[in-house]
Structure 1
Amino acid sequence: MKFSELWLRELVPTTQTREQLEATLTAIGLEVEDSDVLGQGLGNDVVVAQIRDCARHPEADRLQVCTVDAGVHGVLQIVCGAPNARSGLKAPLALVGAKIGEITIKPAKLRGVESNGMLCSAKELGIDADASGLLELPADAPVGMAIGDYLGLPDAVIELGLTPNRADCFCLSGIARDVAAATGTALVEQKIDAVPAQSTATLPITLDAGADAPRYVGRVIEGIDAKVATPLWMAERLRRSGIRPVSFLVDVTQYVMLELGQPMHAFDRDRLQGPIGVRRARAGETLKLLDGREVAVDDGFLVITDADRAVALAGVMGGFDTRVGDGTRNVFLEAAHFAPAAIIGRSRKLGMHTDASHRFERGVDPQLPRVAIERATALILEVAGGTPGPVSEVALDAELPRPQPVSLRRARLARVLGVTIADADVERILRSLGFAVNATADGWMATAPSSRFDIAIEEDLIEEVARIHGYDAIPTTLPAGGATVRAPSETRVSDWALRRQLVARGYLEAITFAFVDARQLQAWQMTADSLELANPLSAELAVMRTSLVPGLAEALARNSARQQSRVRLFELGNVFHATNDAPLHTQRIAVIACGSAADEQWGDANGKRGVDVFDLKGDLDTLAALADATLDYRAARLPWAHPGRCANVFRGDVKLGWIAELHPALCNALDLPARTCAFEVDLAPLALRDVPKSRPLSRFPSVRRDLALVVPRNIEWEALARSVRESAGEWLRELVLFDVYTGPGVGDDEKSFAMGLILQEESRTLTDQDVNALITKVIDTAASRHGAVVRG
């Protein structure tokens, strides 16, 4: 929000210096992002002058020799190269001795012709960026008057960085109210009287959008002079607010928006048929906007209609076909209230941004439309004449937002702020901000003005009191109270323990966006149950991620493209899925790796073995070991995984996730190294562990019995191992696979698993009879489940 300092001081005549005023604005939450002083150093040597005559320079085609009337300073000869220099034009003149920026004006000869001063552009005066020609002043500008006095200089353009909740400060009246409250200065209340109707000209209004558009106000003004120039004071205030003047009728609506905060629009009445209405757009409906673009809208948009023909995009921009121009004689002014939810994201969806949508998205005072119409009417009649008709208003009272009383407890205020503020000061602060305040036994009931959409709970009122009272007036004190020390849970491995384990194994932690591009999920074939955002920051961040690995893969690709041959990344974060009820978010841990299995070192003669799925399996097993868990890996086929190098990960009967080498086609499409491996598992079931229980070490020796079983080639070790563990029971302390054999002595469609079973009992030494019976049970179970036979 940009505005003129002098305009603000008209509304709140504070005696603070510019630096103090800017500090006050920042202190009350209206952060000053920039401040640009205009017309600094323009003294009495820069005056209003009028060109009496222009003649071509005898030695230069682009220069003119001008005879200039400078009032009491006499008639001067000025050589000027501005393309708009002409007889009768009034423009700023820097006299000899004047200092413009770093230049001091001196008598000079330009191509042999004397010049005693310089006619100036707006850029040369330091009040605008326009350097295309001389700054053209109105015909009634007093010749010889100091330009600073005439233009109200020096002035400052102050730019605020407003937070979205302070929609009421997107206008001068809102900013002035806050400054008046903070400085204790009396606010100059604007008196906006109703303009009586002088004709019966009206347009009927219909509202068909319910709570999205509960109020619409309009007025017909006939017989205006649309060609009249925008008054200098209005044009300068617009220009210093970052809005370039266009034409008087357009400028009036912009001025009222900056002054009061109510966006408005002016239609050419003669291009309307009536009645005027507000409704939801229809699918496939098109509309040509003021900027000349034709846009297609859907039922998510609101449109202003003329006899059911869409003529404007409600809350965003007017239509091209009903625009005002120099030929406009009769105008229809509109001001409406649109619910923020009906406007949010609509302009962004069309790739545009307007001052109106910026305000409506955050909330505009629903009581302002009639006030804005009256203010705009008075300005139009004053400058352009005309005959006003009556104000037409249609409102759905039941749908209009109404501020609700909010309780503020005296004790709660003191507890939150850590300081006691006198009751009289609390009431003064709230009333100066426009609140209706009623005292209660334990505090106050305060009702916010209709412009304050951000006041809903007690903490909002506390914030208002604190920022106006002054954060610097609240003493710095250390917090008191006992600290509660909580022991970490023994039933869950902490996130930090998992992070430390992966870091110890050579991984670096990455943090990627939870918002992703839909095309990224499509490349991974992970779009199932994806959650699209209704109001994304951009098209590249339009969907919530359903997996951590795509983001990690993108980070790995960027590192790999920057000559990092060995990259190992992990992330612990949430993924999101759409459900029939509320969106579901799940915490997961994922890793991705490429390059050599081990970092370059002198002790490894080979040192170049590429990372594979089994390296990552070892890393994942170490995470499971922190929870005293054993994981099962069951072969699977996934769209993004290399066939035959992919498995689903289970802990008991609970599926945790997957582990795989990525598919070569996917790696090629994403510019990933040829062999890239990853896993992703749900964190909660992985980190769950039983409460540790101590038990004494057995005093009896363990027994090892080796066993080689021949099984069909399609049998996986994990399946056989589960059967062995189940049949061996509680005596089995450890199961070790030490050989997998294929070749002579084993059928072509068979393989041999050689394993060691380490057995132990806590109360006695196991006998050969015990061990033989157990091994027999293991062999029988393996034979019945997997067709296993003991290798001869």
Structure 2
Amino acid sequence: MRISLNWLRELVDISISPEQLAETLTVAGFEVEDIEDRRTWADGVVLGKIAEIAPHPNADKLRVCQVDIGQSDRLNIVCGAPNAAADMIVAVATIGTYLPAIDLKLKKTKLRGVPSMGMICSLSELGLEKESPGIHNFDLDNPVLGSDVRPLIGLDDVILDVTATANRADGLSMVGIAREVAALTGGSLKIPDAAGVLIGDQDPAGGLEIDIMESQACPTYIGGAIANVKIAPSPDWLKRRLQAAGIRPINNVVDVTNYILLEWGQPLHAFDRDRLTNLTGSQNLTIGVRFAKASESLKTLDGQTRQLQDQNLVITANDQPVALAGVMGGEDTEVHEGTTNLILEAAVFSPVAIRRSARVQGIRTESSTRYERGINQAELALACRRAILLISELAGGTATVQKSASGATQMRMTQEVSLSLDRLNAILGPLKRGEDTEVESYLQPPEVESILTALGCGTSRQEGESVVWTVTVPPYRQRDLEREIDLIEEVARLYGYDRFSDTLPTQSVPGYLPPEEAAKRDLRSAFRAAGLTELMHYSLVKQQGDNQVVIANPLFVEYSALRTEMLSGLIDAFVFNLENGNGPLNGLEIGRIFRRDGEVYQEEDAIAGVIGGDPSQGRWVNSGKDNPMSWFEAKGVLESVWERLSLSVEYRQESDVKMLHPGRTATLWLNGDRLGIFGQLHPQIQREKELPEAVYLFEFRLPVLTAAITAKDYLKRPFQSYSTFPASDRDLAFFVADSVSVADLQKTMIKNGGKILESVDLFDEYRGKNVPENQRSLAFRLVYRVGDRTLTDEDIEPLQQKIRDALVKEFQVSLRS
């Protein structure tokens, strides 16, 4: 919010410089992003009068002016403004003046041969307007020629651009900032009042009623009728204050509502009453508050016709929408030059309702910004009376009647919070009382009470073993000061964070990673070592399935639900890389997936990846031919990960995963738990996405992996020394049914091979000629070794025969060797 220092000085006594004030506010939590010193814009510009004017002898569009600035000699100034005329009171930039708005320093010069001793300025040249049609004429009864022109046009001011945090809604008003400055500096407050405002009890123009249909969204609504107003431009003082705050002046009535918005942080809206009656066809008006219907539309003040949704809170006149509540008024009922009768709205709306309504329509206004953070309900009526007072003074209106209605949810006007001195000092610690003070000193009760009183809080002290206060929070801070810790924060903020001693922990504890986080890092390292690049995607996706968790207020349709799996995002990433000429992508992602089963919501961490394409594409070794990765090569990437992590993972055939090839998909199992899936991309999806022939995907449950890596048995694996004796290997070949998995065969061999069987590896598979139907020929290499001697045939053959017998008995294999 842009804060005018001149305006602020009317509300609170300030004796410090703008720079000191900016530093004080920033340290207290109100960051001052910029200091705009307007005094430099017209330093050296004085008030003058054009005494005489004559055409320029050598230029048709220039004229020579004799300007009186209160000195004995008049200034000869060449001026090109089309509106320059004798007897005009103007702003004159004298020799040596620098005008930063146009980056010009005035010096003696000649224009077409005629000397010019200064410059007659327009408002744009002084930085007050973007464009000006000509020089500015001051309408003054007794002008003091030669006096500083800055106080007359508001350039004796300094503007502070202050950012209020989300919890400080009171920081979006001049009164709120004034209260903060008073608490920080000890200055006395001068809050404006609206005493003497008279409001009639009869409505001569017809009946006016208020009907709140959504009491949760609108706790309080005040509607007042003002008759016989005269729309005109606002006085200069009001225009300058709005312009300093970045708001464009419109007319006296609209400017008053904006002025109250800045002064109190209370949005107001003025309706043209005659337009309301024409729209509804009735002199009796019922102003209502309800949510919009899907079929309704409204043309707002920005000229756009908006299709309303059921999340839009609207103001209605006889049930016809006339404004987006708390956001923007309607064009059909706006105040215009011919307006004579008003309906003035002042209301409290729910922050949640206004935030949703504004977001649905893609609008953010000064009004909605304040409602979204919460306004001060206790001073709603005061702000409304203040607006009526100003409208009466500036537009001549008379308040004929005022009606109000309150919903079911009313904000408490008083809120009490308990504060313990021991708790406060335990959190804030000792103070810096002085360099020579050896005894630690803490905040004392009078200091705490002084700070709380400066904040506008009431205090009631209870003495006992410890000092405890019952603190009454002012209404304008009730959304912020709700707990004891909030009060402690305020005491520290106003006392000064730098005035507390710096303390370090008495005993340091070395940091460490939780086992689950260490396991995740090991997993990342293992997959990166296997050649996979880590990826990251949004958890938000487009709504497609019934079991998705749907977002209530999505930003975009594409981000309207939470993902139930991670493979789709990886496929899109693979396509994106190919389209951008980056080649095949071997990627890994660790993230979270979400599911909904009826009313039960579930979420789980997962690790997924994509492997595909020709890893040697573009290299000379293949003579430019593609060499797609096979299923076994892709599986080998995973096997290298399991080997690095010392995990024993089992593969089982799977055919029910829609995104994967039904004949080239497996489920993975670890320690009896289902780990996840791995397989080749379904050919139909491959054709649709125009992907390479072989792309492989996997998705694993991260908790199963981390549980295996963090298990006690895994962490305490004993070391086994390497054997210095040679190994003995035997080959075993047989026919076996296609339905029997290699994993089951290996389990049986390992089980019957005893302790001297070191490894079992499949090295050949064959289907075709001389192989029985529905069977395949498999050949395994079994390696035997011990650490204390070289094995003999007598050691190995009994075990080899035992393995043969077990295979025949369990799987009915036909032995070939």
If the length of structure 2 is used for normalisation, what is the TM-score? 0.83
Q: 1:407–1:443: 8 Å Cα contact kept in structure 2?
A: yes
| Cα separation, partners in 2 of 1:88 and 1:470, compared to 1, 3 Å | same
| Greater Cα shift, 764-773 or 635-644 | 764-773
Q: Give, in angstroms, the shift of residue 258 of structure 1.
A: 0.8
* CA distance in structure 1 between the partners assigned to 2:634 and 2:470 by the alignment: 62
* CA distance in structure 1 between the partners assigned to 2:572 and 2:627 by the alignment: 24
Q: Give, in angstroms, the shift of residue 235 of structure 1.
A: 1.2
* CA distance in structure 2 between the partners assigned to 1:407 and 1:666 by the alignment: 64
Gaps of 5+ in 2: 278-284, 431-441
| Cα separation, partners in 2 of 1:678 and 1:263, compared to 1, 3 Å | same
Q: 1:345–1:535: 8 Å Cα contact kept in structure 2?
A: yes
* CA distance in structure 2 between the partners assigned to 1:791 and 1:220 by the alignment: 104
Q: Which amino acid aligns with 2:489?
A: E
Q: 1:39–1:125: 8 Å Cα contact kept in structure 2?
A: no
Match of 2:434 in 1: none
Q: 1:12–1:185: 8 Å Cα contact kept in structure 2?
A: yes
Match of 1:478 in 2: 504
Q: 2:193–2:382: 8 Å Cα contact kept in structure 1?
A: no
Q: Give, in angstroms, the shift of residue 754 of structure 1.
A: 1.9
| Cα separation, partners in 2 of 1:98 and 1:758, compared to 1, 3 Å | closer
**Is the aligned partner of 1:213 residue 2:221?**
no
Q: 2:534–2:589: 8 Å Cα contact kept in structure 1?
A: yes
Match of 2:468 in 1: 443
Match of 2:178 in 1: 176
1:368-413: CA deviations, max 9, x gaps? 3211111111111111112112332211364435664333332222
Which of residues 564, 571, 580 is equivalent to 2:589? 571
**Is the aligned partner of 1:5 residue 2:5?**
yes
1:769-784 mapped onto 2 (5 Å cutoff): 772-783=801-812
Q: 1:405–1:446: 8 Å Cα contact kept in structure 2?
A: yes
Q: Give, in angstroms, the shift of residue 533 of structure 1.
A: 3.0
**Is the aligned partner of 1:305 residue 2:311?**
no
**Is the aligned partner of 1:224 residue 2:229?**
yes
Q: Does the residue aligned with 2:91 lie in a helix, a strand or coil?
A: strand
Q: Does the residue aligned with 1:329 lie in a helix, a strand or coil?
A: coil
Q: Does the residue aligned with 2:226 lie in a helix, a strand or coil?
A: strand
Q: Give, in angstroms, the shift of residue 442 of structure 1.
A: 4.3
* CA distance in structure 2 between the partners assigned to 1:402 and 1:502 by the alignment: 60
Q: 1:225–1:386: 8 Å Cα contact kept in structure 2?
A: yes
Q: Give, in angstroms, the shift of residue 322 of structure 1.
A: 0.9
Match of 2:436 in 1: none
Which of residues 237, 240, 245 is equivalent to 2:244? 240
Q: Give, in angstroms, the shift of residue 247 of structure 1.
A: 1.8
**Is the aligned partner of 1:158 residue 2:169?**
no
* CA distance in structure 1 between the partners assigned to 2:621 and 2:75 by the alignment: 91
Q: Does the residue aligned with 2:256 lie in a helix, a strand or coil?
A: helix
Aligned alpha-carbon RMSD (Å): 4.1
Q: Does the residue aligned with 1:649 lie in a helix, a strand or coil?
A: strand
Q: Give, in angstroms, the shift of residue 199 of structure 1.
A: 6.3
Match of 1:680 in 2: 699
* CA distance in structure 2 between the partners assigned to 1:88 and 1:534 by the alignment: 66
Match of 2:400 in 1: 389
* CA distance in structure 2 between the partners assigned to 1:582 and 1:115 by the alignment: 83
* CA distance in structure 2 between the partners assigned to 1:28 and 1:423 by the alignment: 21
Q: 1:598–1:607: 8 Å Cα contact kept in structure 2?
A: no
Q: Give, in angstroms, the shift of residue 307 of structure 1.
A: 0.7
Q: Give, in angstroms, the shift of residue 351 of structure 1.
A: 1.8
Match of 1:591 in 2: 609
| Cα separation, partners in 2 of 1:393 and 1:675, compared to 1, 3 Å | same
Q: 1:724–1:782: 8 Å Cα contact kept in structure 2?
A: no
* CA distance in structure 1 between the partners assigned to 2:135 and 2:554 by the alignment: 43
1:15-34 mapped onto 2 (5 Å cutoff): 15-34=15-34
| Cα separation, partners in 2 of 1:120 and 1:476, compared to 1, 3 Å | same
| Cα separation, partners in 2 of 1:277 and 1:67, compared to 1, 3 Å | farther
* CA distance in structure 2 between the partners assigned to 1:189 and 1:172 by the alignment: 10
Q: Give, in angstroms, the shift of residue 290 of structure 1.
A: 1.1
Q: 1:631–1:650: 8 Å Cα contact kept in structure 2?
A: yes
Q: Which amino acid aligns with 2:40?
A: Q
Match of 2:253 in 1: 249
Match of 1:336 in 2: 347
Match of 2:449 in 1: 427
Q: Does the residue aligned with 1:305 lie in a helix, a strand or coil?
A: strand
Q: Which amino acid aligns with 1:18?
A: P
Q: Which amino acid aligns with 1:780?
A: K
Q: Give, in angstroms, the shift of residue 481 of structure 1.
A: 4.3
**Is the aligned partner of 1:413 residue 2:424?**
yes
| Cα separation, partners in 2 of 1:265 and 1:54, compared to 1, 3 Å | farther
Q: Give, in angstroms, the shift of residue 220 of structure 1.
A: 1.2
* CA distance in structure 2 between the partners assigned to 1:364 and 1:609 by the alignment: 67
Q: 1:407–1:458: 8 Å Cα contact kept in structure 2?
A: yes
Q: 2:215–2:406: 8 Å Cα contact kept in structure 1?
A: no
* CA distance in structure 1 between the partners assigned to 2:87 and 2:701 by the alignment: 80
Q: Which amino acid aligns with 1:430?
A: L
* CA distance in structure 2 between the partners assigned to 1:528 and 1:618 by the alignment: 36
1:239-285: CA deviations, max 9, x gaps? 11111112221111111111100111000111224111111212222
1:416-445: CA deviations, max 9, x gaps? 222332222222222222233333454323
**Is the aligned partner of 1:460 residue 2:486?**
yes
1:637-684: CA deviations, max 9, x gaps? 645446655444333553333334446776787797775544321110
Taking only the aligned residue pairs, the percentage that are identical comes to 34
Match of 2:438 in 1: none
| Cα separation, partners in 2 of 1:703 and 1:303, compared to 1, 3 Å | same
| Cα separation, partners in 2 of 1:275 and 1:423, compared to 1, 3 Å | same
| Cα separation, partners in 2 of 1:65 and 1:557, compared to 1, 3 Å | farther
* CA distance in structure 1 between the partners assigned to 2:58 and 2:286 by the alignment: 64
Q: Give, in angstroms, the shift of residue 327 of structure 1.
A: 0.4
* CA distance in structure 1 between the partners assigned to 2:495 and 2:30 by the alignment: 15
Q: 2:290–2:313: 8 Å Cα contact kept in structure 1?
A: yes
* CA distance in structure 2 between the partners assigned to 1:27 and 1:673 by the alignment: 59
**Is the aligned partner of 1:738 residue 2:763?**
yes
Which of residues 510, 519, 529 is equivalent to 1:504? 529
* CA distance in structure 1 between the partners assigned to 2:619 and 2:265 by the alignment: 68
Which of residues 272, 277, 297 is equivalent to 1:286? 297
- Counting matched residue pairs gives 776
**Is the aligned partner of 1:710 residue 2:710?**
no
If the length of structure 1 is used for normalisation, what is the TM-score? 0.85
Match of 1:186 in 2: 188
Q: Does the residue aligned with 1:287 lie in a helix, a strand or coil?
A: strand
Q: Does the residue aligned with 1:372 lie in a helix, a strand or coil?
A: helix
**Is the aligned partner of 1:72 residue 2:94?**
no
Q: 1:207–1:278: 8 Å Cα contact kept in structure 2?
A: yes
Q: Does the residue aligned with 2:184 lie in a helix, a strand or coil?
A: helix
* CA distance in structure 2 between the partners assigned to 1:610 and 1:56 by the alignment: 88
Q: 2:650–2:743: 8 Å Cα contact kept in structure 1?
A: no
